[in-house]
Structures are given as structure tokens and as C-alpha cells.
Amino acid sequence: MKKFLIRIVAYIFLILVVIEVLVRVFHLYTEDPPRFIDKLDVEKRVPGHKGYAVTGNRNQNFSEFNINEAGFNSHREFTPSKVKYEIALIGDSFIEGFHQDYYDSTGKKIEQQLNGVEVYEYGYAGYDLANQLHLMHSYKDEFELIDEIIVYLNYESDLERAEYEPNFGRITMLSSTVFKIRDNIKLLAYGSKIGILEPVKKLITGQGSENTSEDPEPEDEYEITPDMEQEYLENFKNLVRLYGFDKCKTTILLDSRKTSTSFLDYCEANNFKYIDFASKFEDASKPVTLIYDWHWNNHGRELIAECIVDFIKTRKNRDNCN
């Protein structure tokens, strides 16, 4: 029995070591550059990190990221000035773009179509409208020099709060020993990414055993009730009141298929401009999202870039924007 137990433990240890090496050699794990909250309470990435974001068990989507001095994933540094024409693109993981090489991002695609324009991508996974407007408000001086601001609004999840509160808890959690261990043992990072550790997490957090029935009940589709619509609108109004919204140069990028009519009506009635990419996506001949993920793929990003470029080119007179 002693021999059996010793050998089992030794084999498990050696196998895990070899798999750890293989996971590193074939870069099966994904990297998540560290996050922090700066002195203006803006949550972003620690500058200067380069690496690769990986999606899928078998390295199916492999892309390089580059965190610039401003703390965002971008191919360029953000140096706004009065002499250049700059566009700021603000949003969540869709704008942060860890699913495509940083040198082939949406911003880069816009720059390629608009000569002499610099696009600054202020993307950060988890940003909602409160984060975004607070960011613009905090970096007011910088944003005053930027000529166009495009704010990506995912209506279903970005209007759930009326005021920005920095999430110190999340930053503390991510820098805790448990997460540091996870990030340093690549096999754990890989296991966590592919979901094999999910049952362990559930067991530890007491979420019960998995469903083993033949036909698990489908999850309810997310539905926004009229009360929620009203709440979202009030949140929007409050955020605009708290942090400001320069209607002359700020435009919302949204998908009208996922946005309530009442919100769109409010925007139109109050002169909040928006770019709607719904029709472009609907008419797309190829898939617009990744196979293993719901984020935009290269074609999706091309269409988003096209929408923004078309909007900039046909930009109406900025007078009368308030």
C-alpha cells in the first residue's frame, strides 16, 4: 500500500510538471496583464506589458497585446495635440481587443482608411458607461485635445449603475496570493481558462453539484423589462450630469438590435449622436464574431471601422450640437 501511494503521488507530480512544461512551450495558457487603479481612480492595465492572449483549448485564437504608457492595449502611444486629428475609441473588451493582434486592431483599421488620423483605443475589459464617462472626466485635459470621441455602449450591460465607484475589491482580489499562484502556474491558468476547474470552484463556493440530467433546462434569455429600461435611462442621465458629455465631439457606438427604442428616442430627442452598426452586421456575408468567443472577429472589426470611418467622413457641421 505504501509503495502504491508513494508511486501515485510521484506519478501525479511528474505528470503535472511535464504538462506544465508543455503548456508553457506551446503557449496554451492565456496572459492577463496586471490591472491597477491610478491616482485619478481610473482602472486600467499596468503599462509596459507585452504578451499573448489565447482562446480555446488548442490555441485556436492566438493574438499579441501591447500595453502602452497610458495603460491600454494599443499599437501607439497617446499623445494628443492641437495640431493632429485624433479619435478616441472608448469601450470594454470589444475595444480593448485582446482577441486580435494589437497591430491589427479596430483603431489601426480606421487609421488605414483615414490618412493622418491617430486613433487612441481606451479599451478595458469590464468597462461600462460609468467607467467610460469617468475616464473622460478624469483625463479632461487630454480629451480636450482629442477631436472625436466614440464611446462603445453595450446597452444590455453598460447602464447598470448611475455613478462610478472604483472597484478596489477586484484589484485586491486579482493581486491576491491565490491569483498570483494561478498566474504563475501556467497549468492552473490554462485549466481555469478552459473551464476544467469550474466544478472545483463550484464545489468550494457551495454552488452545488452539476446538473446530470439528460436535458438540462436552457438558461433564460436575458430580457430587459420596462422598469429596467427606465432605470437605465435614469442612470444615463445621471452619468451625463455627473461627468459631462461633450455632444459636439462625442458619439455613441451601439447595436440598435440590442438597445431599447426608448433609449434611442431619448438620444435623438436630446441630440446625443450615435453610430448604429446593426445593419452592417446583419448584412454581413461572413460571421462577425469569433468562433470560440462572442467578441468581434477580424471581419466584425472591419465593419466597425467602416461604420466609424463613414461617420467621420459624413460628419455634419458641429454647430448646433448642444
Provide the terminal-to-terminal Cα distance of the chain, rounded to the nearest Å.
81
Residues 6+ apart with CB under 8 A from 80: 86, 120, 142, 143, 145, 146
> Quick check: 14 binds another protein (CB under 8 A)?
yes
**Residue labelled with grid coordinates 497549468:** 187
Q: Residue 21 or residue 321: which is nearer to another protein going by CB?
A: 21
* Contacts of another protein in 32-61 (CB under 8 A): 57-58, 60
Q: Residue 161 or residue 193: which is nearer to another protein going by CB?
A: 193
Output phi, psi for 149, to 5 deg.
-125, 125
How far is residue 133's CA from residue 114's CA, in Å, rounded to a whole number?
A: 26
How far is residue 252's CA from residue 221's CA, in Å, rounded to a whole number?
A: 25
Q: Cβ atoms within 10 A of the Cβ of 110, count? A: 24
Output phi, psi for 211, to 5 deg.
-75, 120
CB of 5 to another protein, least distance (A): 10
CB of 250 to another protein, least distance (A): 36
> Quick check: 3 binds another protein (CB under 8 A)?
yes
Pick the binder of another protein from 4, 169, 205, 283 (CB under 8 A).
4
> Quick check: 311 binds another protein (CB under 8 A)?
no
Site string for another protein, 187-226 (x = CB under 8 A): ---xx--xxx-xxx-xx-----xx-xxx-x----------
The residues of the shown chain that bind another protein, judged by CB under 8 A, are 1, 3-4, 7-8, 11, 14-15, 18-19, 22, 28, 57-58, 60, 190-191, 194-196, 198-200, 202-203, 209-210, 212-214, 216, 291-292
